[in-house]
Amino acid sequence: MPWPPSVNGYWKPFRNRLIISKRGREYRKQAIFALQNLSLYNIYIDFELSVKLILNPPTLRKYDIDNFQKALFDAFTHGGLWVDDVCVVELLILKGKKTKNGNVEVFIEKK
Can you state the angle between helices 22-37 and 69-78, rounded to 10 degrees?
A: 60
This prediction has a pTM of: 0.90
- Give me the phi and psi of 107, to 5 degrees please: -125, 125
The residues spanned by each domain of the chain are: 7-110
**Looking at the domain 7-110, which fold is it?**
60s Ribosomal Protein L30; Chain: A; (3.30.1330)
CB 32 within 8 A of CB 78: yes
pLDDT by residue (tens digit) across 64-106?
Answer: 999 999 999 999 999 999 999 999 999 999 999 999 999 999 9
pLDDT confidence band for 109 (50 / 70 / 90) = very high
Other beta carbons within 10 Å of 76:
27
Residue 39 has pLDDT above 90, yes or no: no
Residues with Cβ within 8 Å of residue 39, at least 6 apart in sequence: none
pLDDT by residue (tens digit) across 25-36?
Answer: 999 999 999 999
CB 9 within 8 A of CB 68: no
